[in-house]
Amino acid sequence: MPTSSPTLSVVLATFNGEAFLEKQLESLAQQTRAPDELIVSDDGSTDRTNEIVEAFAARVPLPVRHFRNPSAKGFRDNFLGAVREARGDWIAFCDQDDIWRQDKLERCAVHMATPGVTQIVHQATLIDSNDAPIGPFHQGILRTCTKDPLAYDLWSTFWGFSMLVDRRVLGLVGPEQRFVDYIAPRHLIAHDRWAFFLAQVLGRTVEIAEPLVAYRQHGRNLYGKSAGGLKGKPTSTLQAENTVYITATQAMVQIVKSLPIQCERDFPAFERARAIATCERALAQLRRRGAIYEGSRGLAPLRSLAMFASGGYRNVHDGSQRWRSLLRDMAVSVSAR
């Protein structure tokens, strides 16, 4: 059961981060609500990253536990490996090149003891390599509120630097059992998408409409804010991408079914039957879209319209229309194979 004064671990994954790491670490040291520990996991840096961490650990009162991976894991498993070392009741993911607002942890911590809450998320401000603000990063957060379980798209996420997660949800399923990363299918799902999936299945999400992190945009970001667009893709590409989503969503169904029986007791907002049904509805939609890509291209518009008429393009979490998906599928008739 969560305690009345939950503890908090900041989990920082590093790799050749000397350019901006000192500013990030200093922003952790200046937190008005200090973390109970800082876990740093380095993935084989060849620059001054580890020296910077050791010097920081030697001069601050904050408990710092510094690990170095014997062989490179990649950022996904580096983060999740660090989580396994954490002792706090809550986990705050931390990137190596951002700057946290001084009261980030204080603003988030007030919600950690709220019954049923399993994740806390917030807005950010975009900054450039010189720390200059270049725009807002709201992540769809428009007001401070609490959302019920399964309030979001199953395949969505908040960025890891903006998330605090109840550590218990990450201990229920081994990271080696997570599903394929539908964004980068050569890998298993990234740490933040994995945490987001488990947390929104098992509990409520607090959204804080305040920019509590300066999220740095620069040429070495592993992932960053980009302006996406509705681009035409060959049918074979759409089919392959859809197959990956099907594989991931099938695994979601099985993961929810196999969650320990005590989850109903430990997470009072968790409704297993509803979560299974939600994942299965999403899976059914993906399979119907697969039939559009596999069938005659000339029939794609008719099949898309039939799916639209039956509600097949409505998001399973809130019933809103997936207009972009509909337009993309109707365009299959004129796309290349």
* One-letter-per-residue 3-state SS of 129-184: CCCCEEEEECCCCCCCEEECCCCCCCCCCCCHHHEEEEHHHHCCCCHHHCCECCCC
Instruction: Quick: pLDDT tens for 302-315.
Output: 888 999 999 999 99
Q: Which pair of tokens denotes residue 15?
A: 């790799």
Task: Please identify, among 181, 216, 251, the residue that sits at the C-terminal boundary of a domain.
Answer: 216
**Helices 191-202, 75-85: crossing angle, 10 deg rounding:** 50
What are the Cα distances from residue 299, in Å, to 235, 309, 314?
13, 15, 21
Q: Mean pLDDT over residues 222-236, rounded?
A: 57
205 and 241 housed in the same domain: no
280 and 209 housed in the same domain: no
Are the C-beta atoms of residues 279 and 155 closer than 8 Å to each other? Answer: no
Q: How confident is the model at residue 221 (pLDDT cuts 50, 70, 90)?
A: low
Q: How confident is the model at residue 224 (pLDDT cuts 50, 70, 90)?
A: low
Question: Residue 273: inside a domain, yes or no?
Answer: yes
Least confident of 3-12, 31-40, 60-69, 325-334: 325-334
Q: Mean pLDDT over residues 2-23, rounded?
A: 93
Task: Give the residue among 194, 167, 170 at the shortest CA–CA distance from 180.
Answer: 194
192 and 298 housed in the same domain: no
254 and 209 housed in the same domain: no
Question: Residue 229: inside a domain, yes or no?
Answer: no
Question: Residue 226: inside a domain, yes or no?
Answer: no
Element (H, E) at 42: strand 37-42
Least confident of 2-6, 79-83, 160-164: 2-6
pTM: 0.92
Instruction: Quick: pLDDT tens for 247-287.
Output: 999 999 999 999 999 999 999 999 999 999 999 999 999 99
245 and 154 housed in the same domain: no
Question: What domain range includes position 315?
Answer: 235-334
Average pLDDT of every residue of the chain = 93
Question: Residue 274: inside a domain, yes or no?
Answer: yes
pLDDT at 300: 81
86 and 212 housed in the same domain: yes
Q: Mean pLDDT over residues 208-212, rounded?
A: 99
Q: How many CB atoms lie within 10 A of CB 321?
A: 12
Q: Mean pLDDT over residues 121-130, rounded?
A: 98
Question: Residue 230: inside a domain, yes or no?
Answer: no
Sign of CA dihedral 194, 197, 198, 204: positive
Q: Mean pLDDT over residues 16-33, rounded?
A: 98
Q: Mean pLDDT over residues 35-53, rounded?
A: 99
Task: Please identify, among 216, 243, 277, the residue that sits at the C-terminal boundary of a domain.
Answer: 216
Question: Residue 225: inside a domain, yes or no?
Answer: no
pLDDT at 223: 47
248 and 146 housed in the same domain: no
Task: Please identify, among 170, 186, 216, the residue that sits at the C-terminal boundary of a domain.
Answer: 216
Name residues whose C-beta falls within 8 Å of residue 40's C-beta, 6 or more positions apart in sequence.
Answer: 12, 14, 53, 64, 65, 66, 67, 82
108 and 171 housed in the same domain: yes
Task: List 119's β-bridge partners, or say none.
Answer: 165, 205
Q: How confident is the model at residue 293 (pLDDT cuts 50, 70, 90)?
A: confident
205 and 247 housed in the same domain: no
pLDDT at 333: 56
For the chain, the domain total comes to 2
302 and 169 housed in the same domain: no
256 and 284 housed in the same domain: yes
Instruction: Quick: pLDDT tens for 65-101.
Output: 999 999 999 999 999 999 999 999 999 999 999 999 9
Question: Residue 98: inside a domain, yes or no?
Answer: yes
pLDDT at 229: 46
Question: Residue 266: inside a domain, yes or no?
Answer: yes
Are the C-beta atoms of residues 268 and 116 closer than 8 Å to each other? Answer: yes
Domain CATH for 59: 3.90.550.10
| 66 three-class SS | strand
User: Would the pLDDT of 2 be above 60?
Assistant: no
Q: How confident is the model at residue 131 (pLDDT cuts 50, 70, 90)?
A: very high
181 and 245 housed in the same domain: no
